[in-house]
Structures are given as C-alpha cells and as structure tokens.
C-alpha cells in the first residue's frame, strides 16, 4: 500500500523534480535556520537588557555598598564626603510620599470608579478619557513647571513639602486611574446584577462588591505609582527643592494639645533622588561614592515596591477565577 | 405596612438615599474631571508665562537663532541648540529601543512559553522602574568610561552614552505594549499564514506585526515621548552645554536639561530667565503632544480600515 503510493508520487518519478524537492527541502532548512536565528537574536536582546540592569545594580553595590551604614542614614549632608548622610533626604522623601499618597490614591480611585461604573457614553467621558491618555504622555518636567507657576507663585504655597507632594500626586494620577479601571473591569457583570437584584443601591454595590474584589489590582497600581513618584527628580528640582538641608521638618505629632500639627507641610525639603543628583554632579570622586550609596538605597526601595506589586498581581490572578 | 411605606417614592429615607447617591456620583465625577483641570492648568501656565517672553523676543528669532544664552550678558534666544540636543538624544535612544523592543516583543509573544513570559515580562519591566537619576549616574560613571575604551575621543560628558542608556530604559515601554498588541492578534491569522507555507519569521514580520500595527504605533509613540521628555539622564551625563549638537560624542543640552539647570539657580519670579524655562517647557509640550496626536490619529485611521 505504502509502496504503491510512493511510486504514484509524481515528484519521485522524475530526476528533475527530485532536484526540485531538494531545493525545496534546502529552502525549508534555510528558513528554519532563520526562525532559529531570530529566536537567538530575541534571547540576546532580552539578555542584553537584563545584563544592563544587572551591571547597574552590581556597579551600585560595588561602589556604594560599603558606604551604606547606620551613620549614613542618621547624618545630615555635609561638605566632607565621609561624614555626609541622607537623614534629611529620606525623611523628606517619606513626608512627600505621604502627601502624594493622600492626593493620588483617593483621587485616582474615585476617577477610575466614575469612568468604569458611572460614566455614560457621551462626549464628556470621551474628552476625560482622552485627557488622561494625554496626561500620561506629558513629560514629568512640565508638571514641575505647572507646580512652580500655580502652587508656588499662584497659590503662595512656597517651595514646600505640600507643593512637592501634590505635584507628584498629580504626576502619578494617570497610573492610578488606569490600573484602577483595569482592576474594576475584571469584575464580572454578574456580580453587579446580583447585588442590584438584592436591592442594593449603586454605591452599596460599589462599596461592598466592586471595591473589595478589585482591591488587589488597585493596590498594585498604587504601589507602582508610588515607586514611580519616589524616584522622580526633575519636577521637584523645578519647583525649587533645595539640595542642601541640614534640619528636619517639625514632628507631625505633639505632646500637647492638639497633638498633631501640620507645620511640616510648609517646610522646605530635599528628597533622596535630589540628594543623589547633587552628589553625582560634583567633581569629587568621594561624593560619587555617596551618590552610589543613595542610588543603591533608592533602587532597592523601588525594586522591593515593584516586587510586592508583581507578587500581589500574581496572587490575585491565581486566587480569583471568576 | 412599613415595607409599603418604604417603597413609596417620596419617603424621607428614599429621598435621602437618592440624594446620597447623586452626591457620591457628583464627587466621583469631579475626581475624574480633575485630570482635565491638570492638563488645562499645565497649558494655561505654560502659555501665560511664555507670552511676555515673546514680547522681548520675536518668534522668528526664537526659531532661527542658533545660540541659546538667556542668562548671559548678551542674551541670545534661539531654541535650535536645545532642540538639536533633544532630537539627537531621542534619536539615539529610539534607534536602540525600537529594534530591541520589537525583537523582544516578538520573542516573548511568538517564541517564549507561558511560564517564561510570566517571569521575563515583569523582570524586564523593572528596567522602567529604576529611578532616572540612577540611570544618569550609570551613564556618566559606567557607560561613558566603558565607551571610552572603544572611542578614545569621547568627551567625559556626551550625548551618546546618555542616549544609549535612555534607549535601554525605554525598551520595556515598547516591548510590553508591543507584546500585548502582538498577542491580541487572533491565532487564525497565524494559522492561515503557516498553512500557506510561511515560516515563523515570515509570519511575524508579514502577518503579526502588520496586524498589530495600531498597538505597535502607540508603543513607539510612547517610547518617543518618554525619550523627548527624559530629563535626569541627559542632565547628569550630557553636560548642559547648549550648542548645535549633531556630534553625539560631544556634550550638549536638551530642553529638559536646560529647565533643570536654570531651576537649580535662584531666578526671580517674572525675570526673562524665569520666562525662558516656560518657553522651553512649552516647546517640549507642543512636540510631545503633537506626537501623541499623530499616534492617536494613526491608530484611529488604522482601526477604521481594520473594520
């Protein structure tokens, strides 16, 4: 049976066509080889990116690692490189991040909720969506210019922690909105209908079902946006963050009535990336070591935050199977 | 009895609930509209602070003068040097990021299996999470010395290493979005291509990439706007010298770097130096926004022809 088929095969019957088959086969071989070569090129490109990241981390560890010590965290910047530390910088970063979170998280989640759950399909919604896309594409430094013109000079808020926090909050707002929308969209409609069927109002439905079920995705977005904000330098330089600060903002908690004070909001500040920028732009080698140490701390913070975000996303994707 | 009373439309509890619902909706709407206020705030402040500048300097001088020295004694206000720095650094970054990003996206989407992709994609995205000032440090103190072993005439501050580092930094933006777009291409197109005897390589370049054109375009556009607006890498590593910078081995200044440089000093509100950073910012915004609009337009056109 098989023999009969083979003898009937026209390509085998003539010599010329067997050469043709050879040509086809060799062309297949060449194309398979191209496929394989392209895969290797892809792997190499991937490897190159990852090696760059690794080189960056290793260089920071090698140069700055030995400089990271308890004293480095508890000293103010100084003219002597070996005595200088990042106390005012990390406290400043912490304060600015607090304001940023308070601004970006509620605003971003509320905006995402509105666009996914409440908005009607009309030109206003389209316009808002278009604006969010554009906002995400605006260079970060223009946020700094806006803040300098509006917050610092227009509203007289000065070059303060409050100004910086609000600037970064508005800067990362699109990230929070987009990730919130994605998380809300993944909640199936049957949940909404079930809730309405039981007589809940829209807000009750959102409050008790949509928000809890999408909290993992929202949290991921919040962490990623904060990790972006903590490394942001340019807009804060633009609004006039100082590079040399040898004092701390007053504590937000008092021992006497009314126990809290908001004076820290109006204080001048510096943050970790600005401190690093200041050190890296000096000609002396010793300050570059400080810059590397600050960079290492900054990098570790962002990598840990991103790691947590990846983990939460992974966990939630596995746990929730609608 | 009570239930019947509650369901009556004008019962106070119902009214209160209705009021609460609409108040919440209004508050959420305001939050969503805040992004519009921000965009308008940015445009308003950039334009209103730039207008007095053009009272001193004519638009022709601004666009054709080849020197930029607003803070010198004999100030010259030509945006071209800053523009050339921005364009050259963006071009270098893009010529690294677009090929690498596309190749990596093709690999992740067409070759890698589910597990490898799940691990590689987030790790690759870490590249975009590194603070840009750290990349500046890396470009100045690692890449430049490294490049000097091949190019001895390279200046200590140069736009080449800044551009290259920016390129690697942008790779994940392009690769992630492109990969999403490529994976959204329905499988029957690939199968059709294979059935016609195409190889994998041919399928990627003649079927998958053309079919995901709109997504790829937005990935490229996002990458380009990132490169145009990138500040810290060029500020730290490219040397802050505004001059016509077509030679990438020499120092140069970009629009963004100029803004940072001026902001570091103490400029009085309303002086021409202060206005000049708004003019620079406005120029940058116009360039990036027009890129975004082109991207949006291309995407719309393409989606229409797809339908």
Q: What burial letters (b/e) apply to A205-236, b meaning 16+ CB within 10 Å?
A: bbeebbbebbebbbbbbbbbbbbbbbbbbbbb
Whether pLDDT at B7 is above 70 = no
Question: Measured between beta carbons, which residues in chain B are less than 8 angstroms from residue A298?
Answer: 131, 133-134
- Predicted local distance difference test score (pLDDT) of residue A44: 92
Q: What is the pLDDT of residues B98-147, one digit of tens each?
A: 999 999 999 998 888 888 888 888 888 888 889 999 999 998 888 888 88
Q: What is the pLDDT of residues A241-258, one digit of tens each?
A: 776 676 667 666 666 666
Measured between alpha carbons, how far is A13 from A10 in angstroms, rounded to an integer?
5
Whether pLDDT at B3 is above 60 = no
Are B237 and B93 within 8 A, CB to CB? no
**Interchain CB distance below 8 Å, A233 and B289:** no
What does the pLDDT average to over B291-296?
82
Give pairs for A44-51: CB < 8 Å, separation 24+: A45/B100, A45/B103, A45/B104, A45/B107, A46/B104, A46/B107, A46/B108, A46/B120, A46/B124, A48/B100, A49/B100, A49/B104, A49/B124, A49/B127, A49/B168, A49/B171, A49/B172, A50/B123, A50/B124
Whether pLDDT at A11 is above 60 = no
Kindly report the number of other CB atoms within 10 A of residue B27's CB atom.
Answer: 11
Whether pLDDT at B289 is above 90 = no
- Predicted local distance difference test score (pLDDT) of residue A269: 79
Q: What is the pLDDT of residues B170-185, one digit of tens each?
A: 999 999 889 988 888 8
Q: Is B98 exposed, middle or buried (0-12, 13-18, 19+ CB in 10 A)?
A: buried
Residue found by looking up tokens 């605006």 in the block: A138
Whether pLDDT at A237 is above 70 = yes
- Residue B77 phi, psi (nearest 5): -120, 70
- Predicted local distance difference test score (pLDDT) of residue A257: 62
What does the pLDDT average to over A278-298?
86
Distances (CA, A) of B5 to B2, B11, B13: 5, 7, 10
Residue found by looking up tokens 């409609």 in the block: A189
Distance of CA B263 to the CA centre of its chain: 22
Chain B residue with the nearest C-alpha to that of A294: B134
Q: How confident is the model at residue B1 (pLDDT cuts 50, 70, 90)?
A: very low
Q: What is the pLDDT of residues B235-258, one digit of tens each?
A: 888 877 777 767 777 888 888 888
**In angstroms, what separates the C-alpha of B206 from chain A's closest C-alpha?**
14
**Interchain CB distance below 8 Å, B222 and A56:** no
- Predicted local distance difference test score (pLDDT) of residue A80: 75
- The tokens for A48 are 């190159």
Chain A residue with the nearest C-alpha to that of B228: A139
Q: How confident is the model at residue A112 (pLDDT cuts 50, 70, 90)?
A: very high
Question: Measured between beta carbons, which residues in chain A are less than 8 angstroms from residue B278?
Answer: 145, 149
- Predicted local distance difference test score (pLDDT) of residue A153: 82
- Predicted local distance difference test score (pLDDT) of residue B4: 55
- Predicted local distance difference test score (pLDDT) of residue B245: 65
**Interchain CB distance below 8 Å, B131 and A60:** no
Check if B117 contacts A (Cβ < 8 Å).
Answer: no
Measured between alpha carbons, how far is B176 from B213 in angstroms, rounded to an integer?
14
- Predicted local distance difference test score (pLDDT) of residue A2: 44
Architecture of domain A70-319: Orthogonal Bundle (1.10)
Q: What is the pLDDT of residues B139-164, one digit of tens each?
A: 888 888 888 888 888 788 888 888 99
Helices (H), B196-254: 200-203, 209-211, 213-229, 232-237
- Predicted local distance difference test score (pLDDT) of residue B213: 83
In 3D space, the residue among A168, A32, A39 whose CA is nearest the CA of residue A95 turns out to be A168
């Amino acid at each position: 049976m098989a023999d009969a088929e083979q003898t009937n095969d026209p390509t085998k019957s003539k010599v010329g066509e067997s050469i043709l088959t050879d040509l086809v086969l060799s062309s297949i071989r060449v194309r398979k080889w191209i496929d394989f070569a392209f895969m290797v090129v892809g792997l190499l490109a991937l490897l190159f990116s990852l090696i760059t990241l690794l080189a960056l981390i290793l260089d920071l560890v090698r140069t700055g690692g030995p400089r990271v010590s308890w004293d480095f965290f508890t000293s103010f910047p100084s003219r002597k490189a070996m005595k200088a530390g990042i106390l005012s910088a990390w406290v400043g970063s912490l304060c600015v991040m607090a304001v940023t979170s308070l601004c970006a998280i509620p605003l971003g989640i509320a905006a995402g909720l509105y666009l996914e759950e409440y908005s009607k399909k009309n030109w206003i919604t389209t316009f808002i969506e278009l604006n969010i896309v554009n906002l995400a594409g605006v260079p970060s430094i223009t946020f700094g210019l806006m803040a300098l013109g509006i917050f610092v000079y227009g509203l007289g808020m000065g070059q303060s922690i409050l100004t910086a926090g609000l600037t970064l909050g508005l800067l990362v707002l699109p990230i929070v909105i987009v990730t919130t929308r994605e998380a809300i969209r993944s909640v199936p409609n049957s949940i909404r209908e079930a809730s309405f069927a039981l007589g809940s109002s829209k807000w009750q439905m959102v409050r008790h079902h949509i928000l809890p079920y999408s909290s993992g995705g929202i949290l991921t977005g919040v962490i990623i946006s904060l990790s972006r904000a903590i490394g942001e330098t340019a807009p804060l330089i633009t609004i006039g963050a100082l590079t040399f600060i040898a004092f701390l903002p007053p504590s937000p908690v008092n021992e006497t009535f009314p126990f809290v004070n908001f004076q820290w909001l109006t204080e001048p500040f510096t943050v970790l990336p600005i401190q690093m920028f200041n050190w890296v732009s000096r000609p002396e080698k010793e300050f570059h070591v400080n810059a590397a140490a600050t960079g290492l701390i900054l990098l570790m913070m962002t990598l840990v935050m991103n790691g947590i975000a990846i983990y939460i996303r992974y966990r939630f994707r596995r746990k929730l199977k609608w | 009895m009570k239930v019947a009373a509650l369901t009556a439309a004008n019962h106070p509890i119902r009214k209160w609930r209705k009021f609460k619902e609409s108040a919440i909706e209004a508050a959420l709407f305001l939050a969503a509209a805040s992004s519009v206020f921000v965009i308008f705030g940015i445009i308003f402040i950039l334009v209103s602070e730039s207008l007095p500048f053009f009272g001193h300097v004519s638009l022709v001088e601004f666009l054709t003068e080849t020197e930029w020295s607003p803070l010198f004694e004999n100030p010259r206000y030509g945006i071209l040097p800053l523009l050339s720095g921005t364009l050259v650094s963006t071009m270098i970054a893009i010529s690294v990021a677009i090929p690498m990003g596309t190749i990596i996206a093709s690999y992740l989407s067409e070759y890698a299996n589910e597990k490898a992709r799940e691990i590689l994609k987030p790790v690759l995205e870490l590249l975009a999470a590194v603070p840009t000032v750290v990349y500046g440090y890396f470009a100045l103190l690692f890449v430049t010395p490294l490049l000097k072993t091949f190019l001895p005439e390279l200046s200590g501050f140069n736009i080449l290493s800044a551009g290259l580092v920016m390129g690697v930094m942008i790779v994940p933006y392009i690769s992630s979005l492109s990969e999403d777009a490529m994976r959204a291409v329905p499988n029957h197109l690939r199968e059709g291509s294979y059935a016609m005897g195409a190889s994998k390589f041919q399928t990627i370049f003649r079927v998958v990439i053309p079919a995901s054109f709109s997504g790829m375009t937005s990935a490229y556009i996002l990458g380009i706007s990132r490169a145009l607006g990138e500040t810290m890498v060029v500020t730290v590593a490219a040397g802050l010298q505004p001059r016509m910078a077509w030679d990438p081995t020499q120092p140069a200044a970009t629009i963004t770097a100029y803004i940072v440089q001026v902001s570091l000093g103490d400029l009085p509100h309303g002086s021409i130096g202060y206005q000049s950073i708004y003019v620079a910012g406005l120029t940058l915004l116009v360039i990036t926004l027009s890129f975004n609009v082109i991207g949006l337009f291309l995407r719309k056109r393409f989606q229409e022809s797809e339908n």
